[in-house]
Structure 1
Amino acid sequence: MPTYVVAEAETSELPKIVAGPGPKNPPVSAVKRSRIGDLPMRVIYRFLAVTVTVIVAAVAAVIGFVSSGSSERPGGEAPGPIAAPSAATPPPGPGSSPEPLSAPASASASSSASASASSSASASPSASPTASAAPAAPPRSAAVLAALADPRVPELPDDKRLGRLPGKEHPAKRRVRDTRSGVSLIRFGKPWKGYGAAPFATRQVLPKVRGTASRAMLVSCPVPINVQETVKDTALLAARWTLNHHPRGGEITWTASQSIKDGWMLAYQVRYKVKGKPHRSMAAVAVKEVPGLDKPALVFVTIPDVQRSRWRDINTAISSISTIKPE
C-alpha cells in the first residue's frame, strides 16, 4: 500500500515539470519591433546624404554658369585668380540674391586698375633717373643751323672712322712746325713742295694738273671760323668753309666722322663739274684744341681725282698731327 502511494505521487508531479519553459512568442515579437524601429533611421540618413549632394552639385553648377557667362560677354574678363575677394563675401547658396556675383568682377576690375596704375607709377621713377642721367645735347648755334640749311652741306653722319684710302703710302721723317696754331705735321717729299703760306700758316701743294680747276694742298692755321659749343660743330663749319677752296658748285658727301686726340676729324668728297664734266676731290679737316690758345688748330687737306693715286697721303697727313708749344 505505501509503495502504490509513492508511485502515484511521483506520476502526479510530471505535468508541473513540462510546463516550466513557458511560451516562445514574446522574444520573437521583441526582435521584430527592433528591426522595424531601425529601418526609418537609415532611410533618413540616406535621404539627408542625397539631399546634401544635390545641393552641392546645384551650387557648383550655378557658380560655373555665372563665371563662364561673365567671360563670354563682350568686355567680360575671366575671374581667374582674382576670385579671392569672394572670401570677404558669403558664398552663393540656394535662395541667395544674384547681386553678390557681380561684386567680385567690380572688385577685380578696380584691383587690376589699381595694380596697373601702381605698376606704371613704379615704372616711371625707374625710367626717370635714366632719362636724367643722359646729358642733354647743347643747343646748336645759328651758324651751325645755317650751315646745315646750306644744300651743299648734309647733316653729319653717325660716327665712322676713316678707312684706308686708295694709293701708296709715302711716309716721311721731316715735319712742319706751325707755332701760330700750336701743331706740327708731316712734311711730304717730292712731288709735294712748300708754297706761299698766306692766308694759311703753313701750306704744301702738289703740282697742278693742266686742264683742272683745283689743286691738291695740305694746310694748317687757327680755325678761320667762330668756335662752337662742341669741337664737332666747329669741324662742321670748317668743312663748309673749305668749299671756298674747291671749284664753284661743289657739294659735300661725308665719308668719315671720328674723334681724334683733343679734337674731331671729318672726311668727305667734294663733287663738282669742270667744263660740264663731273669731278670730285677727296678732302679732310681736323680740328684740334691746343692748351693756351683761344682758337683750335685746323689742318685741311684736299686732293682732286686726277691725282687719286695720292689719296693715301690724306691718311698719313691726319695721323701725323701732334700738339706743340705755341708762340
Structure 2
Amino acid sequence: MAPVPVRPPRRGVGDIPIKVVYLAGAIVATVLAVVLVFYVFSGDVPNQDAEQVVRVAPVPSVTATPTPSASPTPTESPIVLPPVPESKKFATFPGKASAVVNTITDKNTGITYPRLAKPWQAKSFSPFSVAQRIGEVAVPHTVVASAMLPGESPEEKPSSDADYREIATQAVRWTMRTQYPKGATLSWTASQKIPVGKGWTLGYKVTYTHDGKEQDAQAMVTVLEVGKTKPAMLMASIPETNKARWRDLNTLVERVRPL
C-alpha cells in the first residue's frame, strides 16, 4: 500500500519572517508619505492672477547708443532734440526742498548723491543701482536713479566739457525713450559743468500727453567721470503731479559727486 503524501502545514501571519513584515511596512509608509506631500503642497503653485511688480524702466543691454545720425529701427523713431546750449545755469525752482536724510554711496557706479526724506523711498531696482521714487512705478515716473551710462562705452575716455555735454545729451535721449510717453518733446532748462570732478549736467522740461491731458515734467541728467571709459549717470524726472518736489532737482544737481 502506497504511503499517503503528507501536506505541509499552512502558515499563518505569525509565521511570516519578521524582516519581510518590516520591509512591507516601510514600503507602505513611503508611499503614504509621498501622497501626503503632494496633497499638502498642491496649493503652492503661484497665482497667475497675482499683481505683477513693475520695475523702473531698465537700462538697455550693451548696444550702440542712438545718435542723431543713426538710422531708426523699424519699431523706433529717432529722438530728435533741439540744439543743446553750451552753457546755461540750472535755475532754482520755487518751493521747499525735501530734507536730505542721508547720502547714497553707489559703489556700482562710483558716485554719491543725497538720499531724500519721505515721501521719497530709496530701493534697489535692477538694473539701476539705486532708485528713489514717489508713488507707483508707471510712466511717467517720479524717480531719481543712478546707473552706468546706457549703451556702449565711448571709444576713448572723454576729456573735454564738450565730450561730456555730448554724452549727457545721449543720456537725455535715452530717458526720452524710456521714461515718457511716446511723442514727448523737451526744451532745455540748464547746461552746466558739474561742481566737482569731470562731467556735465543737463536740465530739461518734458511736455507729453497723459490720460488725454498735456502735462509737463522737470528733469535732469548728470554724467560723471568715475575712472572708467564709460561715465556714470544720475537721472531724475518729476512730473507736474509732484511739482512740489521740483526743488529737489536743485539738491541733486548741487550735491552729486564722484567717489
TM tier relative to shorter chain: 0.5 to 0.7
- CA distance in 2 between partners of 1:258 and 1:167 (Å): 22
Q: Deviations over 1:53-85 (max 9, x none)?
A: xxxxxxxxxxxxxxxxxxxxxxxxxxxxxxxxx
Aligned residue in 2 for 1:193: 121
- CA distance in 1 between partners of 2:68 and 2:101 (Å): 38
Provide TM-score, normalisation by structure 2.
Answer: 0.64
What amino acid maps onto 2:250 in structure 1? N
Aligned residue in 2 for 1:159: 87
Alignment match of 2:167 (pick from 234, 251, 269): 234
State the SS of the aligned residue for 1:303.
Answer: strand
Greater helix share, 1 or 2?
1
Q: How many Å apart are 1:224 and its aligned residue?
A: 0.7
Q: How many Å apart are 1:253 and its aligned residue?
A: 1.1
Alignment match of 2:240 (pick from 302, 305, 316): 305
State the superposition RMSD in angstroms: 2.3
Q: How many Å apart are 1:170 and its aligned residue?
A: 2.1
Matched, 1:290 2:226: yes
Q: How many Å apart are 1:151 and its aligned residue?
A: 5.7
Q: How many Å apart are 1:215 and its aligned residue?
A: 2.2
Q: Is the 8 A contact 2:223 2:233 kept in 1?
A: yes
Matched, 1:254 2:182: no
What amino acid maps onto 2:242 in structure 1? Q
- CA distance in 2 between partners of 1:157 and 1:145 (Å): 19
State the SS of the aligned residue for 1:226.
Answer: coil
Matched, 1:174 2:102: yes
Q: Deviations over 1:167-225 (max 9, x none)?
A: 2122314111111110011111110002342121110001249xx84221000011013
Greater strand share, 1 or 2?
2
Q: Deviations over 1:222-269 (max 9, x none)?
A: 101334551111000000000111122211211111111310000001
Q: Deviations over 1:284-310 (max 9, x none)?
A: 00000012x231110000000111010
Matched, 1:265 2:192: no
- CA distance in 2 between partners of 1:175 and 1:289 (Å): 19
Aligned residue in 2 for 1:217: 143
Q: Is the 8 A contact 1:169 1:316 kept in 2?
A: yes
Aligned residues: 180
State the SS of the aligned residue for 2:250.
Answer: helix
Q: Deviations over 1:18-73 (max 9, x none)?
A: xxxxxxxxxxxxxxxxxxxxxxxxxxxxxxxxxxxxxxxxxxxxxxxxxxxxxxxx
Aligned residue in 2 for 1:322: 257
State the SS of the aligned residue for 1:233.
Answer: helix
Provide TM-score, normalisation by structure 1.
Answer: 0.51
What amino acid maps onto 2:113 in structure 1? L
Q: Deviations over 1:92-141 (max 9, x none)?
A: xxxxxxxxxxxxxxxxxxxxxxxxxxxxxxxxxxxxxxxxxxxxxxxxx9
Aligned residue in 1 for 2:112: 184
Q: Is the 8 A contact 2:153 2:229 kept in 1?
A: no
Q: How many Å apart are 1:144 and its aligned residue?
A: 4.5
Equivalent residues in 2 for 1:103-142, closer than 5 Å: none
Which fold has the larger relative contact order, with Cα–Cα distance below 8 Å and residues 6 or more apart in sequence? 2
Aligned residue in 2 for 1:31: none
- CA distance in 1 between partners of 2:223 and 2:79 (Å): 23
What amino acid maps onto 2:244 in structure 1? S
Q: Is the 8 A contact 1:152 1:252 kept in 2?
A: no
* Percent of residue pairs bearing the same amino acid type: 31
Q: Deviations over 1:150-180 (max 9, x none)?
A: 4641111241010101221223141111111
- CA distance in 1 between partners of 2:231 and 2:139 (Å): 30
- CA distance in 1 between partners of 2:250 and 2:82 (Å): 23
State the SS of the aligned residue for 2:168.
Answer: helix
Q: Is the 8 A contact 1:181 1:221 kept in 2?
A: yes
State the SS of the aligned residue for 1:174.
Answer: strand
Relative to structure 1, is the Cα distance of residues 253 and 179 closer, same or farther in structure 2, using a 3 angstrom cutoff? same
